[in-house]
């Protein structure tokens, strides 16, 4: 039984994230989507909201669970009994930073990180861009699931 842990900020989840989670669901016995509780990053959605949004998007995959974590990722890897960390790579510049994280996590705990290239269709997509486009009233349909489109509209309307 192999468990993959897919960590991230997911603020908010995009179809790029879901593409990686879905492929992991087909490759591994169990997948834990791990939402980093990072208040210092001043997220638009708090960790509980991001977990709820992801749970709503992952219902089609019975072997996928969603949880949030505080502190070091490798401690959460140990807690969940995960065997590998999986990260998506969009472009070459992602690799430099992700390699640093992977090597640090390996040093801290011996955990291996596997990289999965994102679908080219989502190569330019990021949560930050989605938030920026949505904040200025642009359409993010087709980039994030409909529940996330709605959550963004509600949150941004309340912030105005
Ligand atoms: O979606 P992101 O922002 O690229 O995800 C980055 C994340 C949350 C996976 C990374 O920042 C992380 O693992 N944070 C937890 C704290 C930690 O373990 N830091 C040391 C990393 S080597």
Residue 154 — very low, low, confident or very high, per pLDDT cuts 50/70/90? very high
The verdict on residue 79 lying in a domain is yes
pLDDT 10s digits, 111-131 = 999 999 999 999 999 999 999
The verdict on residue 159 lying in a domain is no
Atom of ligand 1 nearest to the CA of 9: 1
The verdict on residue 153 lying in a domain is no
Q: Quick check: 128 and 9 in contact, CB under 8 A? A: no
Ligand 1 geometric centre to CA of 122 (Å)? 21
The verdict on residue 158 lying in a domain is no
Atom of ligand 1 nearest to the CA of 41: 3
User: Is the CB of 72 inside a 6 Å radius of any atom of ligand 1?
Assistant: yes
Determine the length of the chain: 160
pLDDT for residue 112: 97
User: Is the CB of 113 inside a 6 Å radius of any atom of ligand 1?
Assistant: no
pLDDT for residue 51 is more than 80: yes
Ligand 1 geometric centre to CA of 88 (Å)? 13
Residue 139 — very low, low, confident or very high, per pLDDT cuts 50/70/90? very high
pLDDT for residue 103: 98
**DSSP string over 131-155:** HHHHHTT---BTTB-HHHHHHHHHH
User: Is the CB of 5 inside a 6 Å radius of any atom of ligand 1?
Assistant: no
pLDDT for residue 39 is more than 90: no
pLDDT for residue 158 is more than 90: no
- Catalytic sites, residue numbers: 17, 41, 90, 127
pLDDT 10s digits, 80-110 = 999 999 999 999 999 999 999 999 999 999 9
Return the number of other C-beta atoms located less than 10 Å from residue 137's C-beta: 8
The verdict on residue 65 lying in a domain is yes
Domain of 11 in residue numbering reads as 3-123
Identify which of 4, 5, 6, 7 to mutate to test ligand 1's pocket (most ligand atoms within 8 A of the CB): 7
The verdict on residue 52 lying in a domain is yes
Average pLDDT of the segment spanning 5-32: 98
Question: Closest Cα to residue 33, out of 23, 46, 44?
Answer: 23
Domain count, the chain: 1
Q: Which helix (H) or strand (E) holds 8?
A: strand 3-8
Average pLDDT of the segment spanning 66-73: 97
Ligand 1 geometric centre to CA of 102 (Å)? 10
Q: Whose CA is nearest to atom 17 of ligand 1?
A: 72
Q: Quick check: 42 and 61 in contact, CB under 8 A? A: no
The verdict on residue 156 lying in a domain is no
Q: Domain containing 87 — which CATH number? A: 3.40.50.620
The verdict on residue 150 lying in a domain is no
Whether the full predicted model's pTM is greater than 0.95, yes or no, is yes
Rounded to the nearest angstrom, the gap between the alpha carbon of residue 31 and the centroid of all alpha carbons in its chain is 12
Residue 160 — very low, low, confident or very high, per pLDDT cuts 50/70/90? low
């Amino acid at each position: 039984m192999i468990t993959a842990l897919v960590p991230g900020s997911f603020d908010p989840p995009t179809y790029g994230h879901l593409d990686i989670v879905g492929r992991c669901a087909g490759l591994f016995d169990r997948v834990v989507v791990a939402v980093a509780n990072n208040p210092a990053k001043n997220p638009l959605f708090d960790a509980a909201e991001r977990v709820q949004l992801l749970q709503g998007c992952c219902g089609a995959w019975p072997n996928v669970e969603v949880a949030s974590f505080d502190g070091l990722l490798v401690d959460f890897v140990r807690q969940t009994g995960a065997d590998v960390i999986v990260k998506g790579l969009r472009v070459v510049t992602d690799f430099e930073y992700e390699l640093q994280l992977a090597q640090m996590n390996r040093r801290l705990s011996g955990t291996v990180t596997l990289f999965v290239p994102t679908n080219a269709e989502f190569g330019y997509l990021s949560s930050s861009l989605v938030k920026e486009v949505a904040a200025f009233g642009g359409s993010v349909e087709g980039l994030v699931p409909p529940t996330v489109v709605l959550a963004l509209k509600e949150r941004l309307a309340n912030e105005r």
